[in-house]
Chain A
Amino acid sequence: MGEVVLEGRGIKKWYGKLQVLKGIDIKIEKGKTKVIIGPSGSGKSTLLRILGLLEPPTEGNVLFKGRDVYAEKLDLNKIRAKIGFVFQEPSLFRHLTALDNVKLGLRHVLKLSEDEARRKALETLRIVHLEGWKDHYPAQLSGGQQQRVGIARALAMDPEIILFDEPTASLDIELTWEVIDTMRELAERGITMLVVTHEISFAKEVADEIIFMDDGMILEEGPPEKVLMNPKSERARVFLRRLLGV
């Protein structure tokens, strides 16, 4: 087993009286791509935000490279900088160009010089094939391009892991592919990823491991062929049948 980058132990989350997560254990190893599938409302996005340190769990522990983030009272901002996050809605800073969106964290969080930050931001935009769009504002980009800038913004920080929260959910079919292709390229580059998605083909071809969540619990876990082709639980079977249309 490789080095564990991010781990959740016994994660529970309540919103008021509603329990969204009912004790989740999850580990993501370096260089691996893990995909979470499951019906909407199953707690996938909440789990991702908790692992991304964007909200605290009600109970349980989040460990980043073996260190318990909340118990050890680590500086959240410092660790967030090492955990990339790509949101469901393209959440670009609307007053900044594509280049400046990518550059902001490099300048003010990683404290790179203006020249270094610019060079690094351009290099990252090239990876997502958007170097020609660097001076465009978010409103001048398509949804897919915006998501790819969002990916570049996360990637440029040289994170230990990138979390994707249904990055194609708000996109048309054609735009979905360009984002999925970009994510596929990242996986090939060995970037550690945890991806919530409904794109089964991505899960099947790219994931090292798939998790099926329902009702705040992990019901299935394992390599794609096992979870997708031969699920143990009835709920996973129903979900997959509907998703795959078979």
Chain B
Amino acid sequence: MEFLLQYSRFIIEGFITALTMTIIGVSGGAVLGITTALLDVYGGRVSKVLVGIYVEFFRGSPLIVQLLIFYFSIPAVTGLNWDAYTAGAVTLILNSGAYQKGYFKGAIEAVFKDQLMAAASIGLTFRQTLRYIVLPQALKIVIPAWTNELVSLGLSTSALIIIGVRELTSIAKTIAAQTFRPLEVYFTIAIIYFIWITIMLKIMDIVYRRVRIPGLEVSI
């Protein structure tokens, strides 16, 4: 296995790329997910339909196909010239946002109507109700579901290989090809993914414990 050490620099770079893409995708996706969830729950008919089309597209087609569309098809049609990293990041954000919309919608709807009426009864505006009542609860309720998305998107970054982003899987493929030792290389990479995911799960578990509120627990 020592031969892998000489490639460690590339492996680390690949890992950092995968981690960065995950963070970009999941945080951009969170902003998008919260926005589309609010539009879906409180918006008018038009916004509900638009959100529906967006979500169906990204949840109803493979990530790899989405990556190909954003890296090859869209530039071909629009003349837009972006590199694989930008196209990949945008696709991950849109893809994750579609899934996170569902999680946030569920969490927003878990804040019961009686609390909304109570908020109105003390004179809070709609905006204040969202800010002080709905979102603080929804953001806590959503953590377990959101953790799943973090893990899922982290592993999905390996799909970026299809558009040539130098992430962990793509680095592994190159090393395997150069060394003719696919067995050791791919197993090592799989273990790196596993350790990474385990650490993320642990961190999210600590976060969840910290912000947990009696009576607001949800089982995953």
Contact = CB atoms under 8 A, between A and B. Distances in A.
A93 B214 contact: no
Interface in B98-119: 112, 114-115, 117-119
B137 A94 contact: yes
Given A94-B216, A137-B215, A140-B214, A77 B123 contact: yes
Interface residues of A, number: 30
B216 A95 contact: yes
Contact of B121 (A54, A78, A137): A54
Residue of A52, A79, A80 contacting most chain B CB atoms (<10 Å): A80
A94 B118 CA distance: 12
Contacts of A140: 214-215
Interface in B59-93: none
A128 to B, nearest CB: 16
Interface stretch (B128-136, B152-160, B181-189): B128-136
B123 A94 contact: no
A166 to B, nearest CB: 13
B41 interface: no
Contacts of B136: 95
A83 B118 CA distance: 12
A221 to B, nearest CB: 26
Given A95-B140, A108-B132, A137-B213, A154 B114 contact: no
Interface string B209-220: 000011110000
A173 to B, nearest CB: 23
Contact of B125 (A77, A85, A150): A77
Nearest to A85: B121
A91 B122 contact: no
A154 B117 contact: no
Contact of A54 (B112, B117, B132): B117
A5 B132 CA distance: 30
A222 interface: no
B142 to A, nearest CB: 13
Contact of B122 (A137, A139, A154): A154
Contacts of A87: 114, 117-118, 121
Contact of B120 (A80, A82, A137, A153): A80
B122 A153 contact: yes
Residue of B112, B117, B122, B124 contacting most chain A CB atoms (<10 Å): B122
Contacts of A89: 114
A84 interface: yes
Interface string A166-210: 000000000000000000000000000000000000000000000
Interface of A: 52, 54, 77-85, 87, 89, 91-95, 104-105, 108-109, 137-140, 150, 153-154, 157
The 5 closest A-B pairs by CB, nearest first: A139-B215, A81-B123, A105-B122, A85-B121, A91-B114
